Structure formats: C-alpha cells, structure tokens
Amino acid sequence: MKKKILVIDDNPMILFSVKEGLEEKFDSYNVDSANGGEECFDLLNNGEIPDLILLDIMMPEISGWDVYARLQENEEWKKIPVVFLTAKTDDYSKGFGKLVSEDYIEKPFDLDELSRRIDEVLDKKG
C-alpha cells in the first residue's frame, strides 16, 4: 500500500520535484500537490485525506502557519501529520514550527533524506 503524501507549495518546481522524485525514486508514495492553502482545503474537502502533509511556510495568499492553524480546527484534518518543508531557517520559525509539526525540513533538501524523514514520521504514527 503506497503512502499518500500531499505537498503544498506555491513554487511549481518544488511541487514537481517532490512529486516526481518521491514517486519515481521510491515507488512507495502516491503524491498529490496543491499550489497553496485554498487548493489544499479543496482537496481535503473532497475527501482526499493524505497520510502526511508536506507544508511550505512562505506562500502568498495563505501562509503555511495559517494553513496549519486551519487544519487544527477540523477533527479529521488535525490528525494528519504535518512536516514543514521550508526555506525559513531562522531560529524562531524553526523553534515554533517544531513545537507543533512532526518535523521541520529546510530547503534545499535531499530526496533520500526527505523520504527517510517521511517514513520516520509515518512509522511513529503507526
């Protein structure tokens, strides 16, 4: 059974590289992508519930912080593990991001490392 991942980022290159990279290289993931918060919520509202969300922080319309907060307001969505995948590397963003997310991965990232950390989170969640 493939693990269902939803990656949310406003950068199409990131969406492409995560989707293609994870699906092609590992064959154990099924990756959906959303170019921002609204598209993410559309997918979730349509019942596309992933096993894990990879969430960018700096996005133009709805920031990753607010996407996270909104996820927490839905009893089903709040159970989805969130991993921040971001270029925000300052101590405060990392510190506060790590408080609530399952992991905080800085860009640029290595696909093997990304896969390892996704698996770690999913294994932990059982």
Partner 1 sequence: MHDQIDHTAVKAILNTLRRKIARRTSDDEAVSMLSRFIEELTPQYEFLKYVNVNKKIYSEGESIWVAPELSDVNQNDVFSALHQLVKKSVFEMKEKADFFFIREFQDAFEDMDVVHKSMTDDIPLDEMQHEYLINRAHTLSLEKNQLIINVIHSLLSVANTNLSEGESVQVMEQTFLELLPKYPFFHSVNIVKNPESKGYYTVELSDNFQKIPTFQFADALYNLIYQVGTHLDFNQSTQFQSRLLQKLGKRNAELLRKLNVPIDNISIAKSKSSQQDIMHRLIDSLIELIGERTSEYFAVAVMIKMIDNVKKSHDLLTKIQISKNKDNYSLQFDNDFNSADENDFQKTAKSLIQAVGAHLGKKRGDFIEELKKKLGKKYVSSFERMGLNFHILEMKLN
For residue 60, give both structure tokens: 């133009």
Q: Which is nearer to partner 1, 31 or 40 (CB)?
A: 40
Shortest Å, Cβ 94 to partner 1: 7
Integer Cα distance of 49 and 15 in angstroms: 18
Q: Which is nearer to partner 1, 50 or 97 (CB)?
A: 97
> What's the sign of the alpha-carbon dihedral 59, 65, 68, 73?
negative
Shortest Å, Cβ 113 to partner 1: 19
Which candidate, 47, 92, 41, places its Cα nearest to that of 69? 41
Which candidate, 48, 49, 119, places its Cα nearest to that of 83? 119
Q: Which is nearer to partner 1, 7 or 55 (CB)?
A: 55
Q: Which is nearer to partner 1, 24 or 66 (CB)?
A: 66
Identify the H or E element spanning 33: strand 29-34
Shortest Å, Cβ 115 to partner 1: 23
Shortest Å, Cβ 73 to partner 1: 8
Q: Which residues make up the interface to partner 1 (CB under 8 A)?
A: 63, 65-66, 68-70, 72-73, 90-100
Bridge partners of 35, per DSSP, are: none
